[in-house]
Amino acid sequence: MLLGATHPGIQILGSWRGLSVHALGFGRVWASRGGRLYTRALAGSPWQLQDRLPEPAWQRLLGRSAFVGQALRIGIHGLLPLTDRAQLVVATGRLWRVEDGRWHEALQFDFRKPARLGVLRSAEGQVYCAEYTLNPRRDRAIRLWRSDDGAHTFQQVFAFAAGLVRHIHFIQQDPVDGSLWLGTGDRDAESALWRSTDRGASWQVIGGGNQSWRAIGVAFLPDAVIWGTDAGSDAGRFKNIALRWDRQTRTLTTLGRLQGPVHGITALADGGVLLSTGCEGGVNEADRRVHLWAIRSGASPQEIASFAAGLQPKRAQYPVLHCAQGQEQSDHVWLIGRGLLASPLVTLEIAVR
């Protein structure tokens, strides 16, 4: 039992403090602790140290503390499996392509990192990286890069003009028709979902103009697309909600209200969807807990777990629950808790009851 947790709708199969799980792929689970890269078989085995991020000695030392590493934003921020031997690793200011112990700098950028769902390997083999930067003055063009050679090199393929959006929240591929989806935020006029059918060279808006279209990711179902709103502390009194976009009618339906902004989403092997929330401290939040919700067959969301927020300063890490990438075909679900009372950083393997 984790301190401050209630979880009637899930079974916790494993927990690892100080470990951040990133993705599932090619029969393995990938995670990191500071600048150290770990992996294990999806079927279950001990975690094995795979490699280390090329980083200064002081970062390697401070990154051993989950709290300090998160506060200073050092270490490995994300990982995308490319093949059974190669991975794309996200670190501050750059993307690394790692294969058989060789680290190749594939892309360098002038912002900290893409969002959690801001890197994508498409079914056709292209690799994408979307810009996520604070951009407070809205004076930057917000860029999208694509690699056509397995993430060895990247080229800019698209940019939103300065002032149109603040940043890009995600880029994902729809398994139903192969199109790309992209989400932007954060003000009402900046919040939208976009679709591309030409490998990211051009984008058509699906919907936008208010906080209902502000999302950190979506879940694709055969007949619909599901998401929860990411209306954070800057969204006033807008209450966060779960939404369903019907593929046939292209209409948007509210499924239910949530306690806070949605920071995690994943489709499940059984056709369901999980949503997880964060605590940013906004007046539109119901409490000081992060919540996990399940949506089955388009029905109303059902809360299945919640976790108490920790006491750390919000600037160091606000409480949040994220979902690992690549879980659509997995019977178990992998979550990352940050800023919780139970631990500053914890990876959870769960089964949904």
Dump the DSSP string for 199-248.
TTS--EEEEESSGGG--S--EE-SSEEEEE----TTSTTPPPEEEEEETT
CA gap 340, 289 in Å, rounded:
8
CA 172-133-122 angle, 5° bins: 20
Burial of 61 (0-12, 13-18, 19+ CB in 10 A): exposed
pLDDT tens-place values along the chain, 353 residues long = 688 889 899 999 999 999 999 999 999 999 999 999 999 998 888 999 999 999 888 878 877 777 777 777 778 999 999 999 999 999 999 999 999 999 999 999 999 999 999 999 999 999 999 999 999 999 999 999 999 999 999 999 999 999 999 999 999 999 999 999 999 999 999 999 999 999 999 999 999 999 999 999 999 999 999 999 999 999 999 999 999 999 999 999 999 999 999 999 999 988 899 999 999 999 999 999 999 999 987 678 999 999 999 988 777 789 999 999 998 877 799 999 999 999 999 999 999 98
Number of CB atoms found within 10 A of residue 28's CB: 19
Hey, what amino acid is at 197? T
CB atoms < 10 A from the CB of 149, how many? 12
To which residue do tokens 């690699």 refer? 147
Whole-number Å distance between alpha carbons of 255 and 235: 20
The 3-state DSSP class for residue 117 equals strand
Burial class (CB in 10 A: 0-12, 13-18, 19+), 298: middle
Report pTM.
0.95
Side-chain half-sphere of 161: how many Cα atoms within 13 Å? 1
> What pLDDT score does 1 carry?
66
Are 99 and 88 spatial neighbours (Cβ–Cβ below 8 Å)? no
Q: What are phi and psi of 60, to 5 degrees?
A: -60, -40
Q: Tokens 């917000």 appear where? A: 142
Q: Which runs of consecutive H residues, i.e. helices, occur in the chain?
A: 57-62, 66-72
Do 276 and 291 contact (CB within 8 A), yes or no? yes
What structural domains and CATH numbers belong to the chain?
5-352 (2.130.10.10)
User: Three-class SS of residue 58?
Assistant: helix
**Euclidean distance between the first and final Cα of the chain, in Å?**
16
Instruction: Provide CB contacts within 8 A for 303, sequence distance 6+.
Output: 9, 291, 292, 293
β-sheet bridge partners, residue 334: 349
Task: Give the closest residue to 196 by CA, choosing from 222, 214, 171, 215.
Answer: 171
Using the structure block, give the residue that is written with the tokens 């031997």. Answer: 85
Residue labelled with tokens 């949530």: 258
Sign of CA dihedral 99, 101, 104, 106: positive
How far is Cα 68 from Cα 62, in angstroms, rounded to an integer?
A: 6
How far apart, in whole angstroms, are the C-alpha atoms of residue 341 and residue 343?
Answer: 6
Q: What's residue 270's pLDDT?
A: 86
